[in-house]
Amino acid sequence: MTNAPAKISIGDKTVEAPVRSGTIGPDVVDIRKLYGQTGAFTFDPGFMSTAACESGLTYIDGDEGILLHRGYPIGQLAEQSSFLEVCYLLLNGELPSKGELDTFTRTITRHTMVHEQLSTFYRGFRRDAHPMAIMCGVVGALSAFYHDSTDIADPEQRRIASHRLIAKMPTIAAMAYKYSVGQPFVYPDNKLSYTGNFLKMTFGVPAEEYVVHPAIEAAMDRIFILHADHEQNASTSTVRLAGSSGANPFACIAAGIACLWGPAHGGANEAALNMLREIGTPDRIPHYIARAKDKNDPFRLMGFGHRVYKNYDPRATVMQQTLREVFDALKLKDPVFDVALQLEEMALNDPYFIEKKLFPNVDFYSGVILSAIGFPTEMFTVLFALARTVGWVAQWNEMISDPEQKIGRPRQLYTGPVQRDYVAIDKR
Ligand code: CMC
C-alpha cells in the first residue's frame, strides 16, 4: 500500500511530500525537494524528528525498550551469541554458518598485530594523556600505515579496512592502557579469543603467565556485544558525515572516537561511576536526586535518560545481570553496587523521573562492572570505542554502498548581521 503524501503549506504554497515506510518504525516524510519547491528549509538542530539516512542494520523502539540488530533482539544476542558473531552479523546482514564464522574469526585474528612503527606514536603522548586522546591520534594515524585499504571506491579495500579496524582496535586500546601505566606493550596471542586476547594485552605482563578468567572473558564479550551498534547515535552520525566527503575509513573512525568521548555520549559511563562513588552511601541518594531535579543545578543523574529510550534501556537489563555474575564469580562486594541499585529504585519511583520517562541507560551499570574487572575509569570510553568500531564500520560501509549517498551538508537558520560595509580600523 502506498502512503498518501504529506501536504506542507508555507505561505501561499502547498506542496506534496512523499511519505515512506520502513519495515518497522515511524514513517518518514521525504522533504528532499522542499527547498526547491518552497524556498524554505526545515529546522531540527538536534535531529529530534529527522531521519538522516536509510539503514538496515539496527532498529530501536525507544518507547517499548526494544533494540534489534539485523532483526535479532539484543537480549538473545547477548545471551547466545559472541561478539565476533555479532560483528559478522552487522557487517554481512545474516548470522554466519559454522564455516563462515571460523573463516571470519581466523581473518580477524590474523589482523590483530599493528605495524611495529605505530608503537612509536605512543611515545609522543604524555604518560598522563587521557587514553581517548591517544585513541583519536593513533586510529587516525592508521591511514598512514595501511595505504592498501584506503580506496573507498573498492569494496575489497573497504572490507580489508573494516577487518583491520575491528581486529586492531583491542591491540591499540590495550597499548593506550599499557602506555599510561608505564608497562611494556603485550603482543596479541592468537591462541586466545578476541576478548581473551584483549584482556591479556591489557592486564598481562611479560614477567608472568596471564590466565584469562572465563567469567570475566564472558562478561567482557557480552559488554562488547551490548555496545556494538546503536543506529544513528552521535558518533555513528559523525562517522557517516565524515565518510560522506569520501574521507578514508581510519580518519572517519577517528572522528567517531572524538565524538564518543563526550560525557553526554560514551563518556557517560565514566561520569556515572564517578557520580556513584561521590554519592558513596545510600543515605546520600535523596540529596543527589533533589539536585538532579533542581532546574538551577546543572547536575544530572549520569547513566539516566536517553534521547531514544523512553523506557528501560534493554542493554541496561543485561548489564545489571552481567554485573551480578561478575560480582558472584569474583566474590566481590562493593558499596557502589548497592548505591546504584538503590538509586535506580528511588529514581524510578520519583514523579520527576516517571514524568520525563528517564530510565537507566547502558552506562549506568557498565562502569561498576568495568571497575570490578580492573579497568581505571579513563579506559571505560575506550572499551566503548573498541566495541562500537564494528557499528561505525558497518554503517560507513552501508553508506558508501548506497547509490543515493551524497555529501552530508546541513543548512541553517542564519541569525547573524545582514550585509554591511567594512569599516577601516581607525574609524571603529
Ligand atoms: N538527570 C536529570 N534530569 C534529566 C536527565 C538526567 N540524567 N536526563 C534528562 N533530564 C531532563 C532534562 O533536564 C530535561 O528536563 P526539562 O524538560 O525540564 O528541560 C528533560 O529531562 C529532557 O532532557 P534533554 O536533555 O532535553 O533530553 P535529550 O534527549 O536531549 O538528552 C541525554 C538525552 C542522554 C543527553 C540526557 O538524558 C542526559 O544528559 N543523560 C545523562 C548522560 C548520560 O547518561 N548519557 C548516556 C546516554 S546512553 C549512551 C550513549 O548512547 O552514548
Q: Give the nearest ligand 1 atom to 230 CA.
A: 51
Q: Is 273 in the pocket of ligand 1 (CB under 6 A)?
A: no
What is the pLDDT averaged over residues 17-28? 97
Q: Is 303 in the pocket of ligand 1 (CB under 6 A)?
A: yes
Q: How far apart are CA 160 and CA 422, in angstroms?
A: 53
Cβ atoms within 10 Å of 237's Cβ, excluding its own: 18
What is the pLDDT averaged over residues 269-294? 94
Tell me: pLDDT of 308 over 80. Answer: yes
Q: How far apart are CA 321 and CA 165, in angstroms?
A: 30
Give the residue from 265, 58, 239 showing the smallest Cα distance to 139: 239
Q: Is 292 in the pocket of ligand 1 (CB under 6 A)?
A: yes
Give the side-chain half-sphere CA count within 13 A for 18: 6
What is the pLDDT averaged over residues 338-367? 93
- Which strand (E) or helix (H) includes residue 9? strand 6-10
Confidence of residue 384 (pLDDT cuts 50, 70, 90): very high
Numbers of helices and strands, H then E, in the chain: 18, 7
Predicted confidence (pLDDT) per residue in 395-427, tens digit:
999 999 999 899 999 999 999 999 999 999 999
Q: How far apart are CA 6 and CA 34, in angstroms?
A: 11
Give me the torsion for CA of 421, 424, 427, 428, rounded to 10°: 70
Q: Quote the crossing angle between the two packed helices 380-401 and 214-226, to the nearest 10°.
A: 50
Q: Is 266 in the pocket of ligand 1 (CB under 6 A)?
A: yes
What is the pLDDT averaged over residues 359-367? 91
Nearest CA, atom 34, ligand 1: 306
Instruction: Please give the grid coordinates belonging to residue 135.
Output: 585513541
Asked if 298 and 338 touch (Cβ cutoff 8 Å), the reply is: no
Asked if 406 and 250 touch (Cβ cutoff 8 Å), the reply is: no
403: three-class secondary structure by DSSP: coil
Q: Is 361 in the pocket of ligand 1 (CB under 6 A)?
A: yes
* Dist. CA 357 → ligand 1 center (Å): 10
* Dist. CA 19 → ligand 1 center (Å): 30
Taking every pair of Cα atoms in the chain, the longest distance, rounded to a whole number of angstroms, is 78
Tell me: pLDDT of 1 over 70. Answer: no
Tell whether the torsion through CA atoms of 139, 145, 150 and 156 is positive or negative. Answer: negative
> What is the CA 291 to chain-centroid distance, rounded?
28
CA angle 162, 166, 167 (to 5 degrees): 115
Give the side-chain half-sphere CA count within 13 A for 250: 26
0.85 cut: is pTM over it? yes
Tell me: pLDDT of 256 over 90. Answer: yes
Confidence of residue 340 (pLDDT cuts 50, 70, 90): very high
Give residue 36's pLDDT: 94
Q: How far apart are CA 291 and CA 313, in angstroms?
A: 23
* Dist. CA 307 → ligand 1 center (Å): 7
Nearest CA, atom 40, ligand 1: 305
* Dist. CA 304 → ligand 1 center (Å): 7
Predicted confidence (pLDDT) per residue in 96-119, tens digit:
999 999 999 999 999 999 999 999
Tell me: pLDDT of 48 over 80. Answer: yes
The DSSP result for 124-155, as a single string, is TS-TTS-HHHHHHHHHHHGGGT-GGG--TT-H
Give the residue from 138, 393, 390, 386 showing the smallest Cα distance to 242: 393
Give residue 41's pLDDT: 96
Q: How far apart are CA 152 and CA 247, in angstroms?
A: 8
Residues serving a catalytic function are 306, 363
Residues whose CB is less than 8 angstroms from the CB of residue 221 and which lie 6 or more positions away in sequence, other chains included: 82, 83, 193, 194, 195
Q: Is 304 in the pocket of ligand 1 (CB under 6 A)?
A: yes
Tell me: pLDDT of 20 over 80. Answer: yes
* Dist. CA 142 → ligand 1 center (Å): 34
Q: Give the nearest ligand 1 atom to 235 CA.
A: 52
Give residue 264's pLDDT: 83
